[in-house]
């Protein structure tokens, strides 16, 4: 039997994160050097390393018997809890019936793109998840490359919007931002909102990293600045380290009454409702409690310590520039200063750079520029600083909170040796490249990994 795949699917590329997974598995398992059995230095995966908060796990266990379908928009207890959560943490007044629960924000963003007419404006660099969805839905789209500060320029946004003929445009705003780790402040959001009002731009504000802001008091939701035109998405995946639970939510703009019915229709058609036990467990994650509050504080402090270290160490490598993260567990490293040497070594694209870094002896996994919706020849990469044992590090942090700058550095050395060694490997790679020595050093270097 030969199956014929629908042309619409044939035309879609495998999302970059899945390609990356396969690529890393193939590469690291091949290394013949015994001392490399540790795998690789993992700067590629965007997953919180911490355990799911105990209170969520316990609530899930208590609700496992709930086999009935849930309401399409989410169980009332959860929509209530999300409403209160938004008031408490983000200062947004949102009645529960403006909230829809879905199987992850990725799906909800897809659903929003399905119901909203218009040309999509995608600022770059961007999270690797948006573009395949936009392409799948065959929507018109335009990139909006950011400038040196890596943030949306309101003037550029206006210029682009003026060129677009569509009655409605959709801006995908990701704040805090994957891959740069940067946070937009209130003024920056207000300037973007002014352009959006003027140019009839609807905003999908992906705020999945909101709780990871190192200084949480600095976070401002676009839902507060531009409530009439913003769809805010958020969920359990990053803040509660529960990506595998597949639970996200979207807050609809005020007065979007007729849209809500259209949206419900799409959700009911595509997945009926999110798993009922998971929704009950999520209530415990969104309810205000000292346990969850402490979890947010500890995890964001650890992300900050790892982020500061990674930023300083990478910036100290000659020719390397990095964004200084305000949130998330990523930063964007710019290796373009090495472009001539990379070209000379026949490393002509960012994908090739990722490949050159994963082979022996470097064994360092990064996400290259084209996966971040940058030019293929842009040697920028996302560096995720989460390659450590989250449960152990959480405990160690509580037992002995590092205070001074040297204690914080020591904390990284003691708790995240793979981050420390991985950055050394990146440094070594560029040193070898400079010396035109990439290949020759391969054999010698293996001993360094274990030391």
Ligand X SMILES: Cc1ncc(COP(=O)(O)O)c(C=O)c1O
Up-side HSE of residue 239: CA atoms within 13 Å toward CB? 27
DSSP for residue 189: H
CB of residue 39 vs ligand X: minimum separation in angstroms? 21
CB of residue 248 vs ligand X: minimum separation in angstroms? 4
Instruction: Identify whether the C-beta of residue 438 lies closer than 8 Å to the C-beta of residue 345.
Output: yes
Kindly tell me which residue out of 46, 123, 181, 369 binds ligand X, with binding defined by CB under 6 A: 46
CA distance 356 to 374: 19
Cβ closer to ligand X: 31 or 292? Answer: 292
Site for ligand X in 174-213 (CB under 6 A): 174, 178, 206, 208
C-beta neighbour count of 168 within 10 angstroms:
13
Kindly tell me which residue out of 129, 223, 227, 402 binds ligand X, with binding defined by CB under 6 A: 129
Pick the closest to residue 365 from 350, 378, 383 (CA basis). 383
- Residue 277, H or E segment: helix 276-286
CB of residue 127 vs ligand X: minimum separation in angstroms? 4
CA distance 132 to 81: 32
Query: In terms of C-beta density within 10 A (0-12 exposed, 13-18 middle, 19 or more buried), how is residue 194 classed?
Result: middle
- The two tokens of residue 113 are 């793109």
Instruction: Identify whether the C-beta of residue 246 lies closer than 8 Å to the C-beta of residue 213.
Output: no
127 forms part of the interface with ligand X (CB under 6 A): yes
Cβ closer to ligand X: 102 or 422? Answer: 102
CB of residue 205 vs ligand X: minimum separation in angstroms? 11
Cβ closer to ligand X: 129 or 181? Answer: 129
Place of tokens 């293996």: 446
Kindly tell me which residue out of 118, 243, 325, 361 binds ligand X, with binding defined by CB under 6 A: 243
Kindly tell me which residue out of 79, 106, 150, 303 binds ligand X, with binding defined by CB under 6 A: 106
- The interface region with ligand X, picked from 101-109, 189-197, 340-348, 426-434 by CB under 6 A, is 101-109
Cβ closer to ligand X: 46 or 277? Answer: 46
Pick the closest to residue 236 from 287, 165, 181 (CA basis). 287
Pairing, β 119-124 against β 169-174: parallel
Site for ligand X in 221-240 (CB under 6 A): 235, 237
285 forms part of the interface with ligand X (CB under 6 A): no
Torsion of CA 126, 423, 148, 128, to 10 degrees: -10
Pairing, β 321-322 against β 330-334: antiparallel
CA distance 415 to 332: 23
Instruction: Identify whether the C-beta of residue 363 lies closer than 8 Å to the C-beta of residue 425.
Output: yes
Kindly tell me which residue out of 104, 125, 325, 402 binds ligand X, with binding defined by CB under 6 A: 104
Cβ closer to ligand X: 329 or 411? Answer: 329
CB of residue 132 vs ligand X: minimum separation in angstroms? 13
102 forms part of the interface with ligand X (CB under 6 A): no
Cβ closer to ligand X: 73 or 415? Answer: 73
DSSP for residue 270: H
Site for ligand X in 289-348 (CB under 6 A): none
- The interface region with ligand X, picked from 100-108, 117-125, 183-191, 365-373 by CB under 6 A, is 100-108
- The interface region with ligand X, picked from 23-31, 104-112, 215-223, 397-405 by CB under 6 A, is 104-112
Tell me the Cα Rg of the chain. 22
Torsional sign, CA 300, 301, 306, 310: positive
Cβ closer to ligand X: 206 or 287? Answer: 206
Cβ closer to ligand X: 275 or 428? Answer: 275
Determine the residue with CB nearest ligand X. Answer: 104
Kindly tell me which residue out of 105, 212, 304, 371 binds ligand X, with binding defined by CB under 6 A: 105
Cβ closer to ligand X: 246 or 445? Answer: 246
Cβ closer to ligand X: 37 or 244? Answer: 244
Cβ closer to ligand X: 178 or 428? Answer: 178
CA distance 36 to 239: 32
- The interface region with ligand X, picked from 63-71, 103-111, 359-367, 396-404 by CB under 6 A, is 103-111
Cβ closer to ligand X: 160 or 172? Answer: 172
Q: Please give the size of the binding site for ligand X, defined by CB under 6 A.
A: 14
Q: What are phi and psi of 271, to 5 degrees?
A: -145, 10
Place of tokens 């949102």: 94
- The interface region with ligand X, picked from 102-110, 183-191, 313-321, 415-423 by CB under 6 A, is 102-110
Binding site for ligand X (CB under 6 A): 46, 104-106, 127, 129, 174, 178, 206, 208, 235, 237, 243, 248
């Amino acid at each position: 039997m030969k199956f014929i795949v629908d042309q619409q699917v044939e035309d879609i590329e495998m999302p970059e994160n899945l390609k990356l997974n396969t690529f890393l598995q193939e590469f690291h398992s091949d290394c013949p050097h015994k001392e490399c059995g540790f795998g690789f230095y993992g700067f590629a995966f965007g997953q919180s390393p911490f355990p799911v908060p105990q209170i969520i796990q316990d609530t899930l266990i208590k609700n496992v018997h709930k086999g009935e379908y849930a309401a399409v928009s989410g169980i009332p207890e959860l929509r209530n809890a999300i409403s209160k959560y938004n008031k408490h943490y983000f200062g947004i007044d949102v009645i529960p019936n403006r909230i829809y629960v879905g199987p992850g924000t990725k799906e909800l963003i897809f659903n929003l793109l399905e119901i909203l007419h218009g040309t999509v404006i995608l600022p770059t660099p961007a999270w690797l998840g948006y573009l395949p969805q936009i392409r799948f839905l065959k929507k018109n789209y335009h990139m909006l490359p950011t400038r040196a500060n890596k943030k949306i320029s309101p003037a550029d946004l206006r210029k682009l919007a003026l060129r677009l003929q569509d009655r409605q445009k959709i801006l995908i705003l990701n704040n805090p931002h994957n891959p740069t780790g940067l946070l937009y402040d209130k003024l920056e959001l207000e300037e973007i909102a002014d352009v959006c009002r003027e140019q009839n731009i609807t905003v999908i504000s992906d705020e999945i990293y909101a709780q990871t802001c190192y200084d949480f008091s600095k976070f401002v939701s676009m839902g507060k600045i531009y409530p009439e035109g913003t769809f805010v998405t958020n969920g359990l995946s990053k803040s509660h380290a529960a990506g595998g639970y597949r639970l996200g939510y979207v807050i609809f703009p005020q007065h979007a009454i007729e849209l809500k019915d259209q949206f419900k229709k799409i959700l009911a058609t595509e997945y009926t409702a999110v798993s009922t036990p998971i929704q009950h467990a999520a209530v415990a994650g969104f309810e205000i409690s000292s346990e969850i509050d402490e979890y947010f504080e500890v995890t964001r402090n650890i992300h900050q310590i790892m982020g500061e270290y990674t930023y300083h160490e990478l910036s100290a490598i000659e020719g390397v520039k990095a964004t200084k993260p305000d949130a998330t567990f990523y930063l964007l490293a710019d290796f373009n200063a090495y472009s001539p040497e990379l070209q000379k070594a026949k490393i002509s694209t960012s994908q090739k750079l990722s490949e050159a870094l994963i082979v022996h002896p470097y064994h360092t996994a990064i996400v290259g520029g084209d996966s971040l919706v940058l030019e293929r020849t842009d040697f920028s990469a996302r560096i995720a600083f989460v390659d450590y044992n989250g449960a152990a590090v959480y405990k160690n942090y509580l037992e002995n909170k590092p205070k001074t700058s040297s204690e914080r550095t020591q904390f990284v050395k003691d708790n995240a040796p793979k981050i420390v060694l991985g950055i050394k490997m990146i440094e070594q790679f560029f040193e070898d490249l400079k010396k035109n020595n990439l290949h020759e050093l391969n054999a010698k270097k293996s001993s360094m990994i274990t030391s």
